[in-house]
Structure 1
Amino acid sequence: MHSPIKRWGWFALGWLMVALGFIGALLPVMPTTIFLILAAGCFSHSSPRFEAWLLDHKWFGPSIRRWRERGAIPRNAKIIAIVSMAGGYAVLLFTVDPAWWVEMIVAAGLIACATYVATRPDA
């Protein structure tokens, strides 16, 4: 186990991730599962009790376990994620009108993220 200061840091970060995940569950513009996966990782360093709580959670536990076991993402979640990335990029282009180099950096980052998501195993 880590030192008490590191353990409390992981614990606090875990709860921050849980809060962001639950906010994401309520707001359609924010993801949920990624924050809860990160929370489970934080709790694995600080609180086996809360790690188990997340892994056993009725709604979120299966997704977190699939990710841990196989790095798997459900096909419908992949589609939603990639379409959301494209939509966010379109909103950026049509509302902000960024410099061309900003467009390219954002596009490259989104392409990398979409490729990563698309190449994960199906859950």
Structure 2
Amino acid sequence: MRQNLIKYLLFVIACFATLLGLLGVILPLLPATPFFILALFGFSKSSPRFQQWLLNLPGIGDDLKHWQAHKKINKQRKPAIYLSIVVSFLISILLIGQTTLQLMLVVLMLILLFCMKKLPES
């Protein structure tokens, strides 16, 4: 009974993470990849069918397969990731008129860039 509850909870979390990941593809400030990685983990423990569906998604599936196999980010993809982070944050910073929020976004962008730099590459 407890194991079924854990599987159900992981499935719900994975569904929610997938939804947030899909929103992250559209919205500039919401990162998609961490949510897809969380969804991949949840589906791997609760639903192999949904795990395969996620791994076959166009645009993100190949990156998830690479992450699943190596737990590393593709070295050739890192510059594009850096660029997308900087561009999306700069657009948001320019659209927000409050200096305090702009500074918070700059700090958040720098933290995200630092974390990306620390991830292992392949």
Give the TM-score band, short-chain normalised: 0.5 to 0.7
CA distance in structure 2 between the aligned counterparts of 1:18 and 1:89, rounded to whole angstroms: 22
CA distance in structure 2 between the aligned counterparts of 1:76 and 1:28, rounded to whole angstroms: 24
CA distance in structure 1 between the aligned counterparts of 2:62 and 2:79, rounded to whole angstroms: 19
CA distance in structure 2 between the aligned counterparts of 1:78 and 1:22, rounded to whole angstroms: 20
Q: How does 1:62-81 map to 2 (within 5 A)?
A: 62-81=62-81
String of CA shifts for 1:53-92, please: whole Å, max 9, x gaps: 545x375444224323433212343222222222233223
CA distance in structure 2 between the aligned counterparts of 1:40 and 1:92, rounded to whole angstroms: 29
Match in the other structure for 2:83: 83
Structure 2: which amino acid aligns with 1:104? L
Superposed displacement of residue 39, structure 1: 1.1
The gaps in structure 1 that reach 5 residues or longer are none
Aligned residues: 120
Q: TM-score, normalised by structure 2?
A: 0.67
The gaps in structure 2 that reach 5 residues or longer are none
Structure 1 residue 5 corresponds to structure 2 residue 44: no
Q: CA RMSD in A?
A: 3.1
CA distance in structure 2 between the aligned counterparts of 1:19 and 1:112, rounded to whole angstroms: 24
Q: Any runs of at least 4 consecutive aligned residues in structure 1 with deviations exceeding 6 A, and if so which?
A: none
Give the conservation status (yes or no) of the 8 Å contact 1:11–1:43.
Answer: yes
CA distance in structure 1 between the aligned counterparts of 2:78 and 2:32, rounded to whole angstroms: 13
Match in the other structure for 1:115: 114
Bigger mean CA offset, 108-117 vs 45-54? 45-54
Structure 2: which amino acid aligns with 1:108? V
Q: TM-score, normalised by structure 1?
A: 0.67
